[in-house]
Amino acid sequence: DVVMTQSPLSLPVTLGQPASISCRSSQSLVYRDGDTYLNWFQQRPGQTPRRLIYKVSKRDSGVPDRFSGSGSGTDFTLKISRVEAEDFGVYYCMQGTHWPYTFGQGTKLEIK
């Protein structure tokens, strides 16, 4: 199975400051069709996960533009340009290129 490794696992951030989460895969996530199936999800406390980013850098409808995704191959990053109160929770990367699809361990974004 493809192992997804996130860092850091805990990220204390001050409101208004930027945040960055890394996600590395044990194999390239480029699929035979040329696309890279790397998604990012946000899970607020007590809530269902919500997809923010798909195919590395495409933002879902309704997701603020302070969220951005980048990367290629095995190395990916989720950035929040200025953290707001509603952003606190756990973030997961997920690969949908290789079966079985796999998630990272999660990064907890906390108030500093």
Which of 51, 59, 66, 108 is the binder for another protein (CB under 8 A)? 51
Which 80-99 positions form the footprint of another protein (CB under 8 A)? Answer: 92, 94, 96, 99
C-alpha distance across the termini of the chain, in Å:
35
Of the residues 36, 54, 71, 80, which one makes contact with another protein according to CB under 8 A: 54
| CA–CA separation, 2 and 68 (whole Å) | 23
Q: Does 100 bind another protein (CB under 8 A)?
A: yes
Size of the site for another protein (CB under 8 A): 20
Amino acid symbol at 68: S
What's the rounded Cα separation, in Å, for the pair 47 and 73?
31
Q: Which of residues 58-77 bind another protein (CB under 8 A)?
A: 60
Phi, psi of 90 (to 5 degrees): -115, 135
- Considering only residues 23, 25, 29, 41, which one is a binding residue for another protein as defined by CB under 8 A? 41
- Binding another protein by CB under 8 A: which of 50, 59, 66, 108? 50
Nearer to another protein, 16 or 99 (CB): 99
Alpha carbons within 13 A on the beta-carbon side of 12: 1
